[in-house]
Amino acid sequence: MDRFLKKFRIPHRKPRHSPALFDDGGTDFQIQEMSLQRTPKKLAKFMEYVLCRRPDEFGLVLDADGFVKIKEFLKAVAEEEGFRYVRRAHLDEILLTVPDHAFEISDNLIRSKFRDRLPQRGYATNPPKLLYTCVRRKAYPHVHEKGIRPTGYSQVILSASRGMAERIGRRVDHSAVLLTIQVQNSADQGVVFFQAGGNIFLADFIPAQCFTGPPLPKDKPVIKQPEAPEARQEQRPAGGYFIDLNDRLAATVPKSKRNPGPADLKPDGKRTKKHKRKRERPPWRR
């Protein structure tokens, strides 16, 4: 009995004024603190900051009505430490359990109910000399030749920070290609830049001669496959017969009954339908 109590004894508690709850270095206290962070109310407050105040701080661009795709919102939230667990079900949980939540959902879009503190979108009066954006690696050869066009958004998303541009690009392609845009050269080509708060900038189109990037990947040499040898003529033994296993009719219907005889055909050439004799129902089923 003493050995059992020694194996499963309860750790000694420290006084309440101590920051740790147990003698194991505060591990249980850290677990309890993490569990408190995962409450719907805690997540609702974090979402209020993202959607109501600084979406640009997380690389999110809202449309004219303040909406953003839920898929993009969840990707941005999952990049933050302590909120990587968030899924669509947690948003529905907040709608049901938190009475004063500050967001609303419409189909696959989400937005804040209170949008008076959101950064206003307008012309960029004094943009930096260099801006950054990322494109998918497979699309880079086409972009290098034709220029950068928006994909998934109404405008091309640019950032004054390389880290933010790479963060936004990884949401689309983990191996996205980082491009550097010369602002003055683009402005000379007629490009108009907009600012969506903080370090986020927008443009309708970036010409091919207004940005730089890594060299294009070399085309892989095409390896010719060896030609298939000529098919040998199948040799059949004399007097032999092979059954075609792919022919289901040959495996189930005798050959004598496959083609109808002249007595079974109508004058127009169609086969007559034989009426089956009805079987009498047993008394117990009448």
The span from the CA of 219 to the CA of 188, in Å, is 34
Distances (CA, A) of 57 to 62, 117, 159: 12, 14, 11
Q: What is the pLDDT along the chain (286 residues), one digit of tens a residue?
A: 454 444 444 444 444 444 444 344 444 444 444 444 688 999 999 999 999 999 999 999 999 899 999 999 999 999 998 899 999 999 999 999 999 889 999 989 999 999 888 988 899 989 999 999 999 999 999 999 999 999 888 999 999 999 999 999 999 999 999 999 999 999 999 999 999 988 999 999 999 999 999 998 776 666 777 776 666 666 666 655 566 666 665 556 555 555 555 555 566 656 666 667 777 766 545 5
Q: Which of 260, 129, 123 is nearest to 204 (CA)?
A: 123
- Greatest Cα pair distance in the chain: 105
- Predicted TM-score (pTM) of the model is 0.64
- Return the pLDDT at 32: 46
Tell me what pLDDT residue 7 has: 44
Q: What is the amino acid identity at position 8?
A: F
Selected from 2.40.10.330, 1.10.10.970, 1.20.1730.10, 3.50.20.10, the CATH number assigned to the domain covering 40-112 reads 1.10.10.970
- Residue-wise over 128-154: b if at least 16 C-beta within 10 A, else e? beebbbbbeeebbeebbeebbeeeeee
pLDDT at 71: 94
The count of C-alpha atoms lying within 13 angstroms of the C-alpha of 117, restricted to the half-sphere facing its C-beta, is 12
Tokens of 253: 């219907």
Strand-by-strand arrangement of the 193-195 sheet: 122-123, 193-195, 200-203, 156-159, 130-135, 177-182, 211-212
Dump pLDDT digits (tens) for 183-200: 999 999 999 999 998 899
> What pLDDT is recorded for position 253?
58
Q: How far apart are CA 147 and CA 141, in angstroms?
A: 10
pLDDT of residue 226: 73
Query: For position 8, what pLDDT does the model report?
Result: 41
Give the whole-angstrom CA distance, residue 113 versus residue 51. Answer: 9
Instruction: Answer left, alpha or beta for residue 66, where phi above 0 means left and psi between -120 and 50 means alpha.
Output: left
Q: Domain residue spans in the chain?
A: 40-112, 122-212
Question: What ranges in 107-242 are assigned the alpha helix state H?
Answer: 140-146, 162-170, 183-188
CATH number 3.40.50.1000 is the correct assignment for the domain at 122-212: no
pLDDT at 77: 94
Cβ-based neighbours of 137, under 8 Å, separated by 6 or more: 173, 175, 176, 177
Per-residue pLDDT at 4: 42
- Residue in 69, 41, 42 with CA at minimum distance from that of residue 55: 69
